Structure 1
Amino acid sequence: MKKAILMIQLLIFIGVLIWSGIHPIKRSIWFFESLPAVLLILVLLLTYKRFPLTSLSYWVVFIGTIIMLIGSHYTYGGVPLFHTAKKMFHLKRNHFDRFGHIFQGMIYTALIREYFIRTKFLNREKSLFLIAGLLSVSICSLYEIFEFGVGSFFDNSLQNFLGYQGDIFDPYWDIISAIIGTTIILCLGKVQNQQIKTLNPKKPTAKKSAPRLQPN
């Protein structure tokens, strides 16, 4: 991926981060919901020279972290655009959090899959499909538990922090949304494989010349 595009993505991220921190709905929710996005971007910046990623991974991370910042500003249940869609289509809830969890699954799967392939941790496509998918969903499930723990300890309005919107099955739907995101990336495996090949081109090996016969 061209450095100019990455720089534009980074500048947009910084701009949205600053905007998200200006008069958010609740400061504690903004802090805990935006923190994972900031940490992820910092890790990618620190590892860029040693381990640059594919375009697919960078775009998924970029879009996913922007979604996190928007959710941290409005809360996931209060994003205006999706609230308008809720009224327009007579939906029972604001579905922005579902959208966010789809990208959560996409981020984890894209990064895990790429790391496994490039470090040759797994070479078999079937094993890669299964393990990368299961690991991604496991991380998403653990994040749900972590989110519940943080919300219970720090925030009095737990419903707003977790974005339940009155749905007791919300965590299960979040995990299902993450599974959808995981499946999308696994279906784009060939695209990611091709981009990985361009990052790690095989060096041409020098052909060995045939031994010359010595004259008698």
Structure 2
Amino acid sequence: MPTSRTPSLLVAVAVLSCGLLWSGVNAYDVPTWWLEVLPVFMALPLLCATYKNLPLTTLVYVGIFVHAWVLMVGGMYTYARVPLGFEMAEWLGLHRNPYDKVGHFFQGCVPALVAREILQRGAYVQGRKMLAFLVVCVVLAVSASYELLEWAAAMALGQGADEFLATQGDPWDTQSDMLFALIGASTSLLVFSGLHDRQMARLSKCQTPLPTSEQ
């Protein structure tokens, strides 16, 4: 399976690279763009470097691809100015652009799949309930870390961090961000666990599993 996926994944890498160029050239605020798309710059080389020896499931790669586009669009417009967000606000009768909540939903959904795959394939945890619990804990830790990063950016950049924070005057923005990450993780576990298990089973038949923890 890994070899058969290689052409598709190479196309995905090329598309993401073009997306980075497109969003960077058209960025509303360049410093904000760098802050928002930094995870994409970190993830792409890592995924390419580990593909041969430790390939992930197709589901995880697709999730990362979609999440990357969410980040690139948010970085290009800044989250408070994404056109889709204005349309969503009109549909839902909201007073603010909710595109940042889409980003935080994916910040929960995709890392949940990544954490689940690492924990399960590496046999780091026993039992489905404990697996789900730890996955949610990892997602909340990631979300909290991101909020701390936003706080650090606000302290370092002052008013210049407003585009990155995208609070839009909401005093509960940090809490709602973490809530949407939790919703994303829970949705991921409820909707994709079966498919994820099947893909991991197929992958294990043709690839060495992730290193297991010591007994």
TM-score normalized by the length of structure 2? 0.89
Aligned pairs, number = 203
Deviation at residue 196 of structure 1 after TM alignment: 0.3
- Tell me which structure has the larger Cα radius of gyration: 1
Q: Does 1:79 align with 2:82?
A: yes
Provide Cα deviations, 1:111-147, integer angstroms capped at 9, x if missing partner: 1110011111113111101111111111111111112
Note the C-alpha offset of 1:164. Answer: 0.2
Query: Which fold has the larger relative contact order, with Cα–Cα distance below 8 Å and residues 6 or more apart in sequence?
Result: 2
Are residues 1:59 and 2:31 paired? no
Quick one: which amino acid aligns to residue 40 of structure 1?
A
Q: Which has the higher helix share?
A: 2
* Structure 2: stretches of 5+ with no match in the other structure: 208-215
Letter of the structure 2 residue corresponding to residue 193 of structure 1: D
Q: Which residue of 2 aligns with 1:200?
A: 204
1:150 counterpart residue number: 153
Amino acid at match of 1:147: E
> CA offsets per residue over residues 139-164 of structure 1, 9 Å max, x none?
11111111221232035333321010
Kept in 2, the 8 Å contact 1:28–1:155? The answer is no
| Aligned sequence identity (%) | 28
Contact 2:153–2:161 (CA under 8 A) maintained in structure 1: no
Structure 1 residue 89, shift from structure 2 partner = 4.7
Partners of 1:121 and 1:20 in 2: CA distance: 38
Q: Within 5 Å, give how 1:26-65 maps onto structure 2.
A: 26-65=29-68
Alpha-carbon contact 1:61-1:107 (below 8 Å) kept: yes
Match of 2:140 in 1: 137
Aligned to 2:105: 102
Q: CA RMSD in A?
A: 1.7
Runs of 4+ in 1 over 4 A off after TM superposition: none
Aligned match for 1:189, one of 190, 193, 198: 193
Does the residue aligned with 1:168 lie in a helix, a strand or coil? coil
Identify unmatched segments of 5+ residues in structure 1. 204-216
Question: Which among 3, 6, 12 is matched to residue 3 of structure 1?
Answer: 6
